Structure 1
Amino acid sequence: MSSLLKQAWAEVVSPILKRPNRVQVAALCYRGSGDDKEVLLVTSRGTGRWILPKGWPMDGKNAAEAAREEAWEEAGVIEGQLDRAPIGEYSYDKTLDTGGVARCSAAVFPLKVEKLSADFPEADERTRKWVSPEEAADMVDEKGLRQLLRDF
């Protein structure tokens, strides 16, 4: 391929083929403070990997409220103090129901948990576990999420 063609590909064609990341919201559910702080991880339904409760934005809810709803549906959080400002975001590849893969960016909203329920919409599909932020960082696969958890 000529250098002119390579340059045209890099400057014109390649950016057209790249799709922007899809946006998701995630709840960083936690309890305690200082050395006693713990975060709540749940397993994903598809792979059993440890993740934060997360999902797509929702009509009628801002991003933080959607993250709170995901915390209820996936982890059973029924009461807590939600921070309306995200502490960061991380990117990952999500396998879609169609079998395709979408690059996603999840905005992470801290949620200090005050009360959990054993009966929540996805209770039969997920396992939840309280761990230290450092242990959580070792349990998740996403590099950006690992760093967020360590900084938390």
Structure 2
Amino acid sequence: MIHTLNGVWEEYLRPMIFRPRRLQTAALCLRQNGGDKEVLLITSRDTGRWIIPKGWPMNGKTCAEAALQEAWEEAGVTESSITSTPLGTYNYDKRLKHGAIEPVTVLIYEVQVGHLADEFPEVSERKRAWFTPVKAATLVAEPELQAVLRAL
């Protein structure tokens, strides 16, 4: 009996409970407004909460390139430059469409924004706005992302 319970724990229950975190990449989009730095936030499609553009890694792209692609698709960022090394990370639990929770670690890449397009793939699904880093930190939900924003 003990052997059977141990097998169930090791083969089925433990992997479900202690899953490794999946990886996403994010673009922390910045601009200078006079002498002040500003952060671009967008709304999520499902809940409308404020977030930074992010998504899953993409085949054939580095993590930085994938983050820049997400910045274009979700926020219309063009004429930009991105760092090749992550500025930081944060963790969150992503709620999947069927209700399950997936633990995710997000690599944050700094993007200097040169221009925002009026038309981009998700323009009708999201809002976007510029905020000071301190204000942006009060709007996002993830404590580790808040800390990154406050450190800017």
**Partner of residue 5, structure 1:** none
User: Which deviations, in whole Å up to 9, do the C-alpha atoms of 1:87-127 show, x marking residues without a partner?
Assistant: 11000011112221101110000000001101000000000
TM-score (ref. length: structure 1): 0.88
SS of 1:29 mapped into structure 2: strand
**Partner of residue 120, structure 1:** 120
Partner amino acid for 2:118? A
SS of 2:123 mapped into structure 1: coil
Paired with 2:14 and 2:86, the residues of 1 have a C-alpha distance of 28
Residue 95, structure 1, aligned to residue 95, structure 2 = yes
**Partner of residue 54, structure 2:** 54
**Partner of residue 3, structure 1:** none
SS of 2:150 mapped into structure 1: helix
Paired with 1:63 and 1:36, the residues of 2 have a C-alpha distance of 28
Residue 144, structure 1, aligned to residue 144, structure 2 = yes
**Superposed displacement of residue 128, structure 1:** 0.2
Partner amino acid for 1:126? R
**Partner of residue 3, structure 2:** none
Corresponding pairs, count: 143
Pairing 1:80-91 to 2, within 5 Å after superposition: 80-91=80-91
Paired with 1:111 and 1:37, the residues of 2 have a C-alpha distance of 12
Partner amino acid for 1:23? L
**Superposed displacement of residue 34, structure 1:** 8.8
Paired with 2:34 and 2:101, the residues of 1 have a C-alpha distance of 38
**Partner of residue 107, structure 2:** 107
User: Which deviations, in whole Å up to 9, do the C-alpha atoms of 1:24-71 show, x marking residues without a partner?
Assistant: 000000001795100000000000000000000000000000000000
RMSD in angstroms over aligned alpha carbons? Answer: 2.0
* Structure 1, unaligned runs of 5 or more: 1-8
Partner amino acid for 1:123? V
Identity across matched positions, percent = 49
Partner amino acid for 2:144? G
Paired with 2:59 and 2:93, the residues of 1 have a C-alpha distance of 23
Partner amino acid for 1:106? V
User: Which deviations, in whole Å up to 9, do the C-alpha atoms of 1:129-148 show, x marking residues without a partner?
Assistant: 10000000000000000001
**Partner of residue 68, structure 2:** 68
Runs of 4+ in 1 over 3 A off after TM superposition: 12-17
Partner amino acid for 1:31? R
SS of 1:118 mapped into structure 2: coil
> Greater shift after overlay, 70-79 or 34-43?
34-43
**Superposed displacement of residue 78, structure 1:** 1.3
